[in-house]
Amino acid sequence: MLYTVTTQLGKYVITMMSSGVVLGVGFQLSGGDSQMNELIWYSWLGGVIIGTMIGTNSVLEEHCKAGPRNVVITGSTRGLGKALAREFLLSGDRVVITSRSPESVLQTIKELEENIQEGLSVAKKKERKTLSHAKVVGTACDVCKPEDVKKLVNFAINELGSVDIWINNAGTNKGFRPLVTFSDDDITQIVSTNLVGSLLCTREAINVMQYQDKGGHIFNMDGAGSGGSSTPLTAVYGSTKCGLRQFQSSLLKESRRSKVGVHTASPGMVLTDLLLSGSSLRNKQMFNLICELPETVARTLVPRMRVVKGSGKAINYLTPPRILLALVTAWVRRGRWFDDEGRAVYAAEADRIRNWAESRARFSVTDAMEMYTENTWVSVFSLSVVCAFIILSSSGGPLPGT
């Protein structure tokens, strides 16, 4: 334990102190005088302080990852919900899955249990110990019905003993089309599932979590329209997501002194039936650029959900580094998911998850970009200061303030 703490703290302290080294070298190369030494020492001291703070936080987060979480995910027998459930199981958590269809629940439990066994058969000793805690159970639940939601909560408590994380993932849409083409039943189902369902589930989750010693965390899923922007051809869906954002804002104030954290998770655009329903050829060409598979999104969201603290956090898949990467690589993303005629070219779910239990060391360029965000920006700032100093010195112009 002492070695782990020392390693984590040392890594961040050294990285942060390196900004002082960069400044020192820059000043020497530019002919800086001895009066600059004081600034350099301040940089080193600042690196020690900031690095210690970041390193300590990292150690606390690693400690927070220990032990299984008890998780409830609504709408989790397909798409993103199923991928989230699988990723939580990969982390050794205990998960309750739900769906309106009892048959879908039973089938999904069977598939996920097979995944766990496959993972155990190929896992290393440490990973095998983690996976041994994994457990998946499920029950049918229509989140639009208060009695069903109450039964879901009771089921989760009976099976798991407590609920650490509750994710309101259940949602529906009826395709991309003008409002006037939606039937009464269409509108009722979308609003009931997306908005009313989240309200009912959040209420019942709070009723349980507020009496738990460790509290708990609730996530509502963002989507198109959450920020109040227009959503033509998905007006009903967008309205429900905008309503959820207002709900989140109100709930944050209501639960200010509560042990229950309320958060949002934004998966971005995910290749699921919900997104593809009624999508046109033009839509699919756009999906090639900005969409991701459910497993990819879940792999990023779940680790952050597991260690969330406080309340009011927004966990987003489309972070600035990912958006930048998508723009830079736009030309190579053509035909990534759909060909020029709109036909899907990506693998089926069963093929995609065949090696789902591989090491968590799975890495991407954007993961690497996000790992040491604090260090990266401090170093960039230091380098920019050095460059500015060298340029001004070389040009013979006066430095600011002289």
3 labelled catalytic: no
Q: What is the residue-wise DSSP string for 199-223?
A: HHHHHHHHHHHTTSTT-EEEEEE--
Q: Helix %, strand %, coil % for the chain, to 5?
A: 60, 10, 30
First to last CA, the chain: 51
Structure tokens at 166: 């509750």
* Catalytic entry in 3, 237, 317, 346: 237
**How distant, in Å, are the alpha carbons of 20, 66, 299, 307, 308 from that of 133?**
45, 11, 19, 18, 21
Query: CA dist 297 to 264, 276, 294, Å?
Result: 15, 16, 5
Interacting residues of 401 by C-beta distance below 8 A, sequence separation 6+: none
**CB under 8 Å to 104, separation ≥6 — which residues?**
77, 78
Distance separating alpha carbons of residues 97 and 107, to the nearest angstrom = 11
Residues written for the chain:
402
**How many C-beta neighbours within 10 Å does residue 102 have?**
12
CB burial class (10 A; 0-12, 13-18, 19+) of residue 226?
buried
Alpha-helix residue ranges (DSSP H) falling in 30-78:
37-64
Catalytic residue numbers, as ranges: 237
